[in-house]
Structures are given as C-alpha cells and as structure tokens.
Amino acid sequence: MRPLAPSAARALAAVVGPEHLLTDPAVTAGHAVDWTGRFRGATPAVVRPGSIGEVAAIVAVAREEGLALVPQGGNTGLVGGSVPLAGEVVVSTARLAGVTAVDPDAGLLTAGAGTTIAAVHAAARAAGWAYGVDWAARDSATVGGSIATNGGGLHVVRHGPTRAQVLGVQAVWGSGAPLDDLGRLEKDATGYDLSGLLCGSEGTLGLVTAARLRLVPHLPERALAALAFASMADAVVAVGALRRGLPGLEAAEAYRAAEADLVAGHLGVAPALAPPPPVTVLVEAAGHDDPVDELAAAVAGLDGVVDAVVATDGPRRAALWRHRESLTEAIATLGPHHKLDVSLPAPALAAFAEEVPARVAEVAPAARTWLFGHLGDGNLHVNVSGVDPDDHAVDDAVLALVLDRGGSISAEHGVGTAKRAWLARQRGSDAVAAMAAVKAALDPDGVMNPHVLL
Ligand code: FAD
Ligand code: MLT
Ligand code: ZN
C-alpha cells in the first residue's frame, strides 16, 4: 500500500481538520477488515467529513490526486464492499450522524448518513411512528450503508427493503456534483429517480450524506410463534399460506436443526423448540389490537406444523428472537467463513436447501454448511465455515446452483467484492454495460469504490 502523498495529506487535512484525518495504522486497521474477518485490506488514511461540503471537497481532492475512496458506515457489510482492499482512502460517515428532522404528520424522517438504524427506530418511536427496516446489526449499521446495500432484514415481507423506505437522498456523486433530493414529495413524477439509483449502488456512484425516509405505523401489539416443520418443503408451503392469510404478518424466518443447536450452544440456553425439529420458522404478527388470536387461527389452518410455541409478552418474544438474531454471531465464532446471501423462486427453494450442503461438500469435504434466512422473502443465507477465505470453489458451487435454479446471487447484502465476478452472469452483459455507463457519467474518474460491484 502506498502512503498518502504529502500534497494529498495536506489537502485532506485542510478539508476536515487534522484531527479527522486518521493515518496511524493502529487506528486505521479496524477500518480495513470486514465484520466477518474474511476481507482484510489496508488504507493510508481514514477521513471523517462533517458536512456535505467537506464530502464534495474530499471527492475533489481524490480526483486531483488520483485517490480512490471507499465510503464506510458501520462496516457491518457482509460482501467485502466497505473495506479498502486495494489501498483506497476510507471515507467514514461517523460525523454525518443524527436525526435532523421528523415530520409526524407526513410520517417522514430525515437523518445523516452515519445515523444508526437503531437511532432511526428510536426517533421514529418518539414521534409515534416506526421504521420498517430492521436487523440484528441495528446498533452499528447506518442509514447510508443500508441505502448503499439496499438492506433487507426481518420485515421485508411486510414493508419491503430499504429502497422502499427512501423518499429522497442527499449525496455527492463521484464527479463532485451534489444531489439534493431531501425535499422531494411522496408524489413526484419529475424525471429519473436519482435517489433510487443510489439504492444498491454500494458506494460506487457517490457518497450518501443524508436521507429522507418513510415511516410506517407503530403497531404496539405483537405475537410470535416458533413453528416446527418436518421439512423445508412443508415450511415453504406454510409461509406462502401465511403471506396470503395472515394480514398482520411481520416476519417469517427459518433455520434448521443444526443452526438451532449451534445458536443454543452459543447462547447457553435450550433451543426454542426442543429437540430442534428439522426446520423452525419464527412467525411474528403485529397490529393495533392483540394479534394472538389471528396468529393462532392462521397457524391452526396450516398443514405440516408438528409443534409450536407462542410468545406474547415482550421478554418471551425477545428470548425467541435471540435464537434467530444471534445466528450470524454464532457462526462467526467458528472463524472466518463464506457468506452467500441468495434468493430463490418459491417452487425451487426447498430443493435448493436440500441440495446445497451436498454441493458444498463436493468441493470442500471438510467444510460445514449453515442455512437460515428470511423465508417470507425466499431469501436463504448459505454460510460455509471451515474453508480458506480466498478459496472461491465454494462460492462458485453455491452461486452456480442458484443461477441454475433461477435465483439471485444477492438478495440483500449486495455484490461487493465477494460476488463481483458473478454480476454479469446474473444480470447479463447489456445490464452491466448500462450500469458501467451510469457509473462513467456520475463518477468519470472512477474514484468511488472502484473495486466493488462492476
Ligand atoms: P458498511 O458496511 O460500512 O458499507 C456497506 C457498503 O455500503 C459498502 O459498499 C460501502 O462502501 C457502502 N456505503 C456505506 N456508507 C455509504 C454512504 N454513506 N454512501 C455510499 N455508500 C456507502 N443486511 C441485511 O440486508 N439484512 C440483514 O438481516 C442483515 N443482518 C445483519 C446482521 C449482522 C449481525 C451483521 C453484522 C450484518 C447484517 N447485515 C444485514 C449486513 C449489513 O448490516 C448491511 O449490509 C448494512 O446495510 C451495512 O450498513 P453499514 O452502515 O454497516 O455499511
Ligand atoms: C441475517 O439475516 O441475519 C443477516 O442477513 C446476516 C447474515 O446473513 O448472517
Ligand atoms: Zn438476512
């Protein structure tokens, strides 16, 4: 890795102040490795702008000095997109944090890019609303990162992914030009959706500095059931029936017996259903009125449920959710691992889940496959432990199977560096060429995350 040229260091320090240009390797090292530990790089500097003007000035310095930039929010991304793998300068959004406005009548909230998802939830609640996107990394993952990855999470089945929550974005393109869509209204048919373009852009087009987000009604009453199924096929059919017949459906999350045992061991508690069935599905319903009867009636009408527990009070619901939300952490205790976040058409999902461990074993006999995910969205997380971080054979085997079954190689984590080689096979060369043309127009010198996505 090349150190910063003195002229670049002087220019960046002049923009943000010397205290926000971090060059001490002991400090920058934490910004150069991803959450899984699979992707490790190095950076000559981490720069922390405090305003959109400073971001624009950093982009100008980068263009002038020939630097590449990696935007970084909470660094919880799971596809290696947030770390400087080729010596890029990291632009941290830590100082662009804070909820700046809440419109309780319109149900809209404006927040800086570095605001955590948990802080958005808290501000929404204080205004009598809720935010529709949530996942276990809520205390670290940021508004900017969630937009850049089009993050999904636990409630997509009800509210859609991050893209569906974004009304407008404020950003600086790689060209240095600003985008200010924060004042856009719900109904607005004036041309291209430039804010939407940043959803799923993974830091390759520009740096999001703030966003105006839609809120959803706060539903105070909740009930959660852990349902046991003999097979993934039975679980898929049941979740389809719940999506049709349970209006309050808020989440439908699945994991198998192996993951149930792993997470219970990690937490030092008994599994949610003991002994763990082949497949556990957590089903949450929410409403203004207690949804427990509605949930019980819907579950009673399902085929294939072999056991069930229901939690209505907060502590028991939280205890059940811990099993699902701690899976990522439990798998991480096994060491650096490969994470393959994929989605499948509903008719292909169960067969894929049955087949994928065998496909992994063919190319990596010593590896272990862990499977869980957002069953309501057809989204499975295939995690593989016991393989070298740089060994791509497992990724290739899993992603080839996904494409063969009509699925998507990335459901919610993005493409990053991990799946870059697969983008054209998924989207086709015409679509990738169109993406490259958009990138060339908005980031003409290729300063924004040049080793990610395209
Ligand atoms: P980072 O990791 O910092 O960056 C992610 C990408 O966004 C990078 O390409 C980066 O360059 C870019 N980026 C960051 N900030 C900006 C910005 N301001 N402007 C432009 N580009 C930017 N994801 C899900 O979708 N669903 C889940 O259920 C889920 N659960 C998780 C659970 C755990 C325990 C963990 C560790 C992660 C989980 N994730 C999940 C993944 C992760 O939290 C999301 O991808 C999240 O959106 C990343 O946000 P971040 O702020 O950490 O972004
Ligand atoms: C989840 O659903 O828990 C996340 O997407 C994280 C993961 O895949 O490990
Ligand atoms: Zn997920």
Q: What is the DSSP string of 10-73?
A: HHHHHHH-GGGEE--HHHHGGGSB-TTSS-B---S-EE---SHHHHHHHHHHHHHHT--EEEES
138-155 pLDDT tens trace: 999 999 999 999 999 999
- Residue written as token pair 């009304």: 167
Three-class SS string for 284-316?
EEEECCCCHHHHHHHHHCCCCEEEEEEECCHHH
What pLDDT does 344 receive?
98
38-56 pLDDT tens trace: 999 999 999 999 999 999 9
Q: With pLDDT > 70 as the criterion, what percentage of the chain qualifies? A: 100
Nearest CA owner, ligand 1 atom 43: 76
276-298 pLDDT tens trace: 999 999 999 999 999 999 999 99
Report, as an integer, the average pLDDT of 143-169.
Answer: 98
pLDDT grade, residue 318 (50/70/90)?
Answer: very high
Mean pLDDT of the chain: 97
Domain 6-92, CATH class in plain words: alpha beta
Query: pTM for the whole thing?
Result: 0.98
Question: What CATH code would you report for 99-217?
Answer: 3.30.465.10
pLDDT exceeds 90 at position 97: yes
The phi and psi torsions of 213 (rounded to 5 degrees) equal: -115, 145
420-453 pLDDT tens trace: 999 999 999 999 999 999 999 999 999 999 999 9
CA 416 / ligand 1 centre spacing (Å): 10
Report, as an integer, the average pLDDT of 85-107.
Answer: 98
Packing angle, helices 292-300 and 232-245, rounded to 10: 130
**Pocket lined around ligand 1, Cβ cut-off 6 Å:** 35, 70-78, 81-82, 93, 113, 135-137, 140-142, 144-146, 148-149, 151-153, 202-203, 207-208, 328, 412-413, 449, 452
Classify residue 205 by its DSSP letter: S
Q: 322 with 282: CB under 8 angstroms?
A: no
Q: Could you check whether 221-319 and 334-430 share the same CATH topology? A: yes
- Residue written as token pair 């009867």: 293
What pLDDT does 363 receive?
98
Report, as an integer, the average pLDDT of 190-207.
Answer: 97
Q: 175 with 211: CB under 8 angstroms?
A: no
Residue to mutate (ligand 1; options 38, 46, 78; most atoms within 8 A of CB): 78
361-413 pLDDT tens trace: 999 999 999 999 999 999 999 999 999 999 999 999 999 999 999 999 999 99
Distance CA 115, CA 123 (A): 11
What pLDDT does 316 receive?
97
111-124 pLDDT tens trace: 999 999 999 999 99
DSSP, collapsed to helix, strand or coil, labels residue 79 as coil
CA 320 / ligand 2 centre spacing (Å): 16
What pLDDT does 125 receive?
98
Distance CA 104, CA 433 (A): 42
62-94 pLDDT tens trace: 999 999 999 999 999 999 999 999 999 999 999
Residue to mutate (ligand 2; options 135, 162, 412; most atoms within 8 A of CB): 135
Beta pairing partners, 279: 229, 256
Distance CA 364, CA 367 (A): 5
Report, as an integer, the average pLDDT of 246-272.
Answer: 98
Report, as an integer, the average pLDDT of 171-186.
Answer: 97
CA 135 / ligand 1 centre spacing (Å): 11
- Residue written as token pair 């509210």: 159
pLDDT grade, residue 58 (50/70/90)?
Answer: very high
Whether a cis peptide bond, with omega within 30° of 0, leads into 275 is yes
**Domain regions of the chain by residue span:** 6-92, 99-217, 221-319, 334-430
Distance CA 135, CA 347 (A): 26
Distance CA 28, CA 411 (A): 30
What pLDDT does 1 receive?
86
| CATH fold label, 334-430 | Alpha-Beta Plaits (3.30.70)
Can you read off the two tokens belonging to residue 217?
């009604």
Distance CA 397, CA 360 (A): 7
The contacts of residue 436 (CB under 8 Å, 6+ apart) are: 454
Q: In whole angstroms, what separates CA 185 from the centre of its chain? A: 26
Classify residue 448 by its DSSP letter: B
Q: 218 with 186: CB under 8 angstroms?
A: no
pLDDT exceeds 90 at position 218: yes
Q: 112 with 100: CB under 8 angstroms?
A: yes
The contacts of residue 437 (CB under 8 Å, 6+ apart) are: none
Distance CA 46, CA 69 (A): 10
Q: With pLDDT > 90 as the criterion, what percentage of the chain qualifies? A: 99
What pLDDT does 2 receive?
87
Report, as an integer, the average pLDDT of 92-114.
Answer: 98
Residue to mutate (ligand 2; options 76, 117, 154, 327; most atoms within 8 A of CB): 327
Centre a 10 Å sphere on the Cβ of residue 252 and count the other Cβ atoms it contains.
24
Domain 221-319, CATH class in plain words: alpha beta
The ligand placed nearest to the CA atom of residue 324 is 2
Host H or E run for residue 381: strand 379-385
